Amino acid sequence: MSRVICVTGWFDIYNRQGMKTGEKEFTVSHGINEDTGDAVILPCEHPNALGAVWDKDIREYVLDDKTCLGTRINPVKNTWRG
């Protein structure tokens, strides 16, 4: 089963003028294909919004065949098909 590990973090929020608001939001930066190690382009959304689930063993959010990998991630191009 192929999985994508979501790389997440707390990122600054910017206003329309490009200035930091002082607030942060928890979002996905990108993903890593667990089988190949290749980077996967993902939208900057909360992991739950992408259908990711928390894997308690590796302590990371993951996308897999049971969540949405088969319908939204293009494994050949390593891109999101939202």
d(CA 17, CA 68): 35
Average pLDDT over residues 3-13: 94
Sequence-distant (6+) residues with CB within 8 A of 23 are 12, 13
pLDDT at residue 80 is higher than 80: no
Instruction: State phi, psi for 70 to the nearest 5 degrees.
Output: -70, -20
pLDDT at residue 76 is higher than 60: no
Residue among 53, 46, 51, 54 at smallest CA distance from 73: 51
In the structure encoding, which two tokens stand for residue 51, read together? 């259908």
Average pLDDT over residues 57-73: 73
pTM, entire model:
0.75
